[in-house]
Amino acid sequence: MTHTELPFPGLSSGLASVPVAEAPQNRKEFTSDQEVRWCPGCGDYAVLAAVQGFLPDLGLRRENIVFVSGIGCSSRFPYYLDTYGMHSIHGRAPAIATGLATSRSDLSVWVVTGDGDALSIGGNHLIHALRRNVNMTILLFNNRIYGLTKGQYSPTSELGKVTKSTPMGSLDNPFNPVSLALGAEGTFVARTIDSDRKHLTSVLSAAAAHRGTALVEIFQNCPIFNDGAFDAIKDPETKQTAIIPLVHDEPIRFGADGAKGIVRDQVTGSVKVADVADVGEDALLVHDAHAADSTTAFALSRLTDAGYLNQAPIGIFRQVEHPTYDDLAREQINTAEAGADETSDALTGLLNSGDTWTVV
C-alpha cells in the first residue's frame, strides 16, 4: 500500500466556517418552549443554564448550531435549546455527529453524552471520533452512575460501588475519561465542574473555538442515585486541596495558600504532588496544554482519584492543532472537483466509461 502526503489545509477556529449572526442574540432566543424535566437539584440544570448563557456570546447563527445526544438523562439536553437538535440512540451520537460535521462545514456541531452513553455502549464511537479529530465539541456529563435506568454502576463508578446491580460491590475498574481521551489521540481534552459556572463557561468557549474534536468532561452531581460524588471538590472547606487547577503557562499549584504543587517525579518520569516549601517554586511544573506530546497531559490526568473523588485536576489538559478529518475529507472532494470538467454531462461520461460498444 502506498502512502500519500495529505495537504494541511491550515487550521482556523472551529467556528471559522459557521455563519455569524447579524444581530446580537440573547439567552431567551436559545431557550426552547419545552419544559425541563430533570430531577430537582440535578447538575444538568447548571450546565444547561451555562450553555444557554454562553451560546449567544459565540455570535453564531442559531440555525447553524446542532446539538446531537445519545440516551441518558443528559441526552435530553437538545430538547431544551432552540437550535437544531437530535436525540438519537444510545452511544451513537459521536458517529451521527461525524456524518453531520463531515457533510456540513457550516455547522457548529455539539455532542451531549454521559458516562454510560459515551464510555460504555458508545465507547467505540467516542475513541474513533477523537482519533479522527472531527470538528465537534463533546460534552461528557460524568455523574459516575446510571441515572435514567435508576441507579446501576457506570464505567466511571469507583471499584466496589454498591448499587442496585452490584449489591456486594462493583468489580470493574473505572475509566478515567480524560486519560481515555488522551490515549485516543484527543486534540482538546478538558475537565470542568457543573457548579462552577465561570470555569465551565471558559472551558466550553475554548472547546467551541477548537478546530477538531474537543472533549470536555463535566463532573456532574446526580442528587438521586449518586449524591455527593463530587462533594470534596465542591465543599468550600476541602476544594482548595481537592482541585488541582490547570492553567496554560502557569505553575501548577493548589491547596491553602498554594502550599502544594505538581513536580516531575524524577524516578518514574511521571508527575507527583509535592509541598512547595520542600521543593521550591522553581521546581513546580509549568502547565503546557499546547505540548505536541501528550505524555505529561496523561501523567496529570492520572492524579485523578479512581476511587471516591478526593482530588482531581481541573482545566484544559491538552489543546493542540492537528488536521481534522472533515476538513481533509472536504479537501479531497474539492481537489477532485477542481480537476473535473464542469459540464453537466459528467454523469453521462461516467456511465459511458470503460469498454463500450454501440449497436445501431
Partner 1 sequence: MTKQVKQLDRVIIRFAGDSGDGMQLTGDRFTQETASFGNDLSTLPNFPAEIRAPAGTLPGVSSFQVHFADHDILTPGDSPDVLVAMNPAALRANLGDIKKGASIIVDSHDFTSRNLKRAGYPENPLDTDALDEYFVHDFDLTGMTVEAVKEFGLSRKDASRAKNMFALGLLSWMYGRPTEPTIDFLEKRFARVADIRDANVTAFKAGWFFGETTEAFVVQYEIKPAPMNPGTYRNITGNLALSYGLIAGSTQSGLPLFLGSYPITPASDILHELSKHKRFGVTTFQAEDEIAGVGAALGAAFGGALGVTTTSGPGLALKSETIGLGVMMELPLLVIDVQRGGPSTGLPTKTEQADLLQAMFGRNGESPVPVIAPQSPTDCFDAAVEAVRIAITYRTPVVLLSDGNLANGSEPWRIPDVADLPPIDPAFATEPNHTGKKGDEFWPYLRDEATLARPWAVPGTAGLEHRVGGLEKVDGSGNISYEPANHDFMVRTRQAKVERIAESIPPTYVDDPTAHDSQGARVLVLGWGSTYGPIGAAVRQVRKTGVFVAQAHLRHLNPFPKDLGEVLKRYDAVMVPEMNLGQLSMLLRAKYLVDVVGYNHVRGLPLRAAELADAITDLVEATAHAADDAPLNADTVDAHKEAVR
Q: From CA 229, how far away is CA 221, in angstroms rounded?
A: 7
Among 95-103, 206-214, 228-236, 256-264, the segment contacting partner 1 (CB under 8 A): 95-103
Q: From CA 145, how far away is CA 300, in angstroms rounded?
A: 24
26 binds partner 1, rule: CB under 8 A:
no
Binding mask 39-78 for partner 1 (x = CB under 8 A): ----------------------xxxxxx-x--x------x
- Lookup: cell for 134: 472531527
168 binds partner 1, rule: CB under 8 A:
no
- Please name every residue paired with 264 in a beta bridge, in sequence order, or none if there are none: 271
351 binds partner 1, rule: CB under 8 A:
yes
209 binds partner 1, rule: CB under 8 A:
no
| Coil, helix or strand at residue 240 | helix
Interacting positions 241-270 with partner 1 (CB under 8 A):
none
CA 312 to chain centre: 17
Among 46-54, 90-98, 150-158, 268-276, the segment contacting partner 1 (CB under 8 A): 90-98
Q: Do residues 322 and 187 touch, judged by C-beta distance below 8 A?
A: yes
Quick one: 122 exposed, middle or buried, by C-beta within 10 A (0-12, 13-18, 19+)?
Answer: buried
Total site size for partner 1, rule CB under 8 A: 59
* Three-state DSSP string of 327-348: HHHHHHHHHHHHCCCCCCCHHH
Q: From CA 188, how far away is CA 186, in angstroms rounded?
A: 6
346 binds partner 1, rule: CB under 8 A:
yes
Helices 93-103 + 325-338 axis angle, to 10: 30
- Closest CA relative to residue 86, chosen from 78, 95, 94: 78
92 binds partner 1, rule: CB under 8 A:
yes
Among 43-51, 228-236, 244-252, 336-344, the segment contacting partner 1 (CB under 8 A): 336-344
Interacting positions 127-166 with partner 1 (CB under 8 A):
128
Minimum distance from residue 340 beta carbon to partner 1 (Å) = 4
CB nearer to partner 1: give 141 or 230: 141
Query: Which residue among 88, 157, 179, 324 contacts partner 1 (CB under 8 A)?
Result: 88
Exposed e or buried b per residue across 287-315, where buried means at least 16 C-beta atoms within 10 angstroms of its C-beta: bebeeeebebbbbbbebbeeeebebbbbb
Query: Which residue among 85, 147, 212, 323 contacts partner 1 (CB under 8 A)?
Result: 85
Residues that bind partner 1 (CB under 8 A): 19, 32, 34, 61-66, 68, 71, 78-79, 82-89, 92, 95-104, 106-107, 124-125, 128, 329, 332-333, 335-337, 339-340, 345-348, 350-352, 354-360
